Every structure is written in structure tokens, then in C-alpha cells.
Amino acid sequence: MRRVIQSLLIATLLGTTLAGCVVAPVHPRRPPPPPIVEVIPVAPAPSYHWVAGHYSWHAGQWLWTPGHWRY
């Protein structure tokens, strides 16, 4: 019984310790390029709002995510 309690305690402490770990993304050495000028199309409905495009760092390069309408 003591061995079971000891194993559970170790597993709990290990889980708690690992839950506090944060894996930080690698930050690029160069800033993103200037934003691309987007022509905003007509909204599909009055309740939609525009989400502007942006650059994101992926696989060692800046990738442009175009803007889109969101409900």
C-alpha cells in the first residue's frame, strides 16, 4: 500500500512540475516585412466584421495570412 501511495505522490509531483513548463516560440532575428495593402471586399452580410491580414513566423520565414470576413 505504501508503494502505491508513494508512486501516486511521485506521479502527482511530476505532473505538477511539468505542467508549469512553457515552451517559448523561436523569435525571428528580423522584423516582418511591411504589411500588404489589402482591398477590403464588400461584406457578405451586415453582421460580419473584417479581420485584417497579418504576417506570422512559420518554418523560418514570414508568411502572409490574408484578411477575411468573420461572422
pLDDT in tens, 25-70: 667 778 999 999 999 999 999 999 999 999 998 888 899 999 999 9
In a domain, 56, yes or no: yes
The pTM of this model reads: 0.57
What is the domain count for the chain? 1
What is the extent of the structural domain holding 62?
A: 46-70
In a domain, 29, yes or no: no
User: What φ, ψ does residue 10 adopt, rounded to 5°?
Assistant: -65, -45
In a domain, 52, yes or no: yes
What is the pairing mode between strands 68-70 and 61-65?
unpaired
In a domain, 25, yes or no: no
Q: What distance in Å separates the CA atoms of residue 67 and residue 47, rounded to the nearest whole number?
A: 17
